[in-house]
Structure 1
Amino acid sequence: MEQSNADAEGRRARGTASVVLGLVIVAVLAWLIFGPSEIDPIAWTPPEAPSLTGQFAQNNVLDSIELRFRGQLLGPEDIARDKEGRFYTGLANGSIVRIARDLLKTELLVNTGGRPLGMEFDAQGNLIVCDAHKGLLSIDPEGKITTLSTEEGGVPFGFTDDLAIATDGTIYFTDASYKFHAPNYLADLMEHRGNGKFLKYDPATKTTTKLIGDLCFANGVALSPDESFALVNETWKYRVLRYWLTGDKKDTWDVFIDNLPGFPDNVSSNGKGTFWLALANPRNAAADGMAPYPLLRRVVWKLPKAMHPAAVRYSFVLGLDARGKVIHNLQGPGGSLAPVTSANEYDGKLFLGSVEDSQFGVFDLAGLR
């Protein structure tokens, strides 16, 4: 009899545990589906990713790049050069460092207290910086910081990203996402709602104007050599847009190149007809597969980060001509530098930056046709 009572008690306990577990599972599922979320996704159907063949044929050209300051510079996202031939880059800790012409030593110029990303020198020798947290900044040769712009239309910038400066001093730049801030860029990818802007700053009037809105992570910016158009990367849509600055199409935009094999980050012009486009990572099948299903993305975003779409270490840079045709295809499956977030040409060499790596790369272009 005692054994029977014990068995009955055991069954009741197991039954109670099963009910509790079931209720917990239901509660978790209800929270995942109906609970508050950081993101508010919308559906988007991406084009089928191009294979790494033909103009995108896989190669290992970038696996042999020269790496400078290994382990010493965390997050050198972009690299600018002054008139004296010295180089500058912004780091993850907010520092902007000056690098000697021979690439042998660095010195601190200033710490912005934010996250400096894209940068370029203006005609007066000031370093103009897109700081993800602080906005559009001007830094003089002694390191004095002047804030140029922090908002447009009453909306504060959330992720000031990259810029290009015209000969008249106009600064064309991007706010990648007014909603999500660095380094929370993946939330913007998962939402895919179009929180980015392409903007211009007029130094004469000190005004900021929106040129294109509703962009899915507005990223790199470059000007054509004749300044007839500007390029702006729309990262989450795998494309580069062209905004016309002169001519019959002035103040309109079209697509310069579409359906890229990776996520376009920064873009630069070498001033001689080539645009260097850094692809931070190859296309992600999981991210593309979830794109048409907002509820699925909302649920996945609440799961542990280990279950989110993951990047891979892969070096990838494309060279484009003035019509958007691919003329150079540089890859490094070994990921010696990754992600590559910028590519700037100086004296026949390509300087490659990375927002996450702890060094930058230098690639000699002499061997390219």
Structure 2
Amino acid sequence: MSRVRAGGARGRESRPLSALRVVTPHIEGPEDVIADADGSVLAGAADGTIWRLHLPEPAADGTARPAGATVPDARAEAVAHTGGRPLGLEPLAGGDLLVCDASRGLLRVTPGDGTVRVLADEVAGAPLRFCSNAVMAADGTVYFTVSSVRHALAEWPADILEHIGSGQLVRLRPGGVPEVLLAGLQFANGVALAPDDAFLVVAETGARRLARYWLTGPRAGRADTFAADLPGYPDNISRDAAGTFWIALVGPRKAGVELLYKAPLAVRRAAWKALLRLRRLPPPHPTVRVLAIRPDGGPSHDLCAANSPYRGVTSVCRTKGLLVMGSVTERGVAVCPLPGDQGAAER
């Protein structure tokens, strides 16, 4: 088990992120950002549009941008519309996308002509009300997360504060029906495959941990902990070309929330109802923090920016020597050069 402590990965201090630059500000609420095989970035907007962002090419000699280097603007094109609220995205071989849509379920989208096909809109006879993130294994099996079977996207704080654990990890084999592999997860969120498809890493936002579900070997079908005691609440997960997992922390650990988890369920539900009466959620914390963890569980990066104007980062991916971040609450995506030793994530 890898254990990432509040001061940084395995006791390391976090390192500063380069200044974030917001590009494509016309895109509202890009909850997930993910790089495709060409290095372009895909993002889903609050209005249901799927965008492809063409980022600046790296230097001709292949060198990485130095820390603090200016990041030029990006060009964006709309490639599809889901008719709902897209959350997690996953590029597939051949150009299609898996899209987890909070309104419509698990979708397969063809950007070329905008075709949208529903792969699953219910699980075990219940409506799929909060599909969060998905990946596809080499054999065509899709694994996806359900953040909550009790609450829809608009009520996500209820699941976090009630802390009952109603999230799921679900498998959809080609031609099959959705099967629940894990239940009782604390707000299941991002999911990513190991480079060799040996296991899945699943973010449990409400527990500040990453679960691991084994797909092959003697532990196949069993779950354990990949990383625990994270310094914040993990959201989406991406994997770069080197096999490193990148995790966005949507906010730092909150002592009040952690204390509330120890209270009786009636108190936790009362807290959610009080928040609901306010009709406005507290603003996202101004701290941006992203972690990178190798497939063996070892830390690669722990990067942080305090007092960031771009807040509530829910996703991060690495492409072309850049880190690209999305937020469910902000407009545009945030981009910065990857700080420090570019080779660190390769090792």
What is the CA distance between 1:82 and its match in structure 2? 4.1
In structure 2, which of residues 22, 30, 45 is the aligned counterpart of residue 76 of structure 1?
30
Structure 2: stretches of 5+ with no match in the other structure: 57-72
Q: Map 1:177-192 onto structure 2 (within 5 A).
A: 177-192=148-163
Partner of 1:44: none
Relative to structure 1, the CA distance from residue 306 to residue 159 in structure 2 (aligned partners, 3 Å threshold; closer, same or farther) is closer
Deviation string, structure 1 residues 324-363 (Cα, Å, up to 9, x no partner): 2322110011224221111112233222111111121223
If the length of structure 1 is used for normalisation, what is the TM-score? Answer: 0.80
Question: Within the alignment, does 1:123 sit opposite 2:93 as a pair?
Answer: yes
Q: How does 1:1-369 map to 2 (within 5 A)?
A: 51-52=6-7, 55=11, 57-62=13-18, 64-69=19-24, 71-102=25-56, 104-140=74-110, 141-202=112-173, 204-293=174-263, 294-303=265-274, 304-305=277-278, 311-365=284-338, 367-368=340-341, 369=344
What is the alpha-carbon distance in structure 1 between the residues aligned to residue 206 and residue 185 of structure 2? 9
Q: What's the offset of the Cα at 1:193?
A: 1.1
Deviation at 1:124, TM superposition (A): 2.8
Change (3 A) 1:221 1:211: same
Calculate the aligned-residue CA RMSD, in Å: 2.2
How has the CA–CA distance of structure 1 residues 281 and 246 changed in structure 2, closer, same or farther, with 3 Å as cutoff? same
CA contact (8 A) 2:34 2:90 kept: yes
Q: Which residue in 1 is equivalent to 2:66?
A: none
The one-letter code of the counterpart of 1:188 is D
SS in 1 for 2:154: coil
TM-superposed CA distance for 1:275, in Å, is 0.9
Percent of matched pairs sharing the same residue: 35
Mapped to 2, the partners of 1:227 and 1:166 lie a distance apart of: 7
Shift of 1:55: 3.4
The CA distance in 2 between the partners of 1:61 and 1:80, in whole Å, is: 19
Distance in structure 2 (CA, Å) of the matches to 1:351 and 1:311: 18
Give the 3 Å change call, closer, same or farther, for CA 88–308 of structure 1 in structure 2.
closer
Q: Which has the higher strand share?
A: 2
Name the residue aligned to 1:14.
none
Aligned residues: 318
The TM-score with structure 2 as length reference comes to 0.85
Q: Is the 8 A contact 1:74 1:91 kept in 2?
A: yes
Write the distance in 2 (CA, Å) between the matches of 1:115 and 1:307. Answer: 20
What's the offset of the Cα at 1:225? 0.7
Letter in 2 for 1:345: R
CA separation of 1:87/1:311 partners in 2, compared to 1, >3 Å: closer, same or farther?
Answer: closer
Q: Which residue of 2 is the match for residue 39 of structure 1? A: none
Could you give the per-residue CA deviations for residues 78-128 of structure 1, whole angstroms, max 9, x where no partner exists?
223444544321011111122235453323222222110111122232111
Unaligned runs of 5+ in 1: 1-48
Q: SS of 2:246's equivalent?
A: strand
Greater Rg over alpha carbons, structure: 1
Give the Cα separation in 1 of the matches to 2:334 and 2:135: 22
Offset of residue 317 of structure 1: 0.2
The SS at the match of 1:207 is coil
**C-alpha contact 1:166 1:223 (8 A) present in aligned 2:** yes
2-structure distance, mates of 1:194, 1:366: 36
Which whole-Å CA distance do the structure 2 matches of 1:292 and 1:152 have between them?
Answer: 30
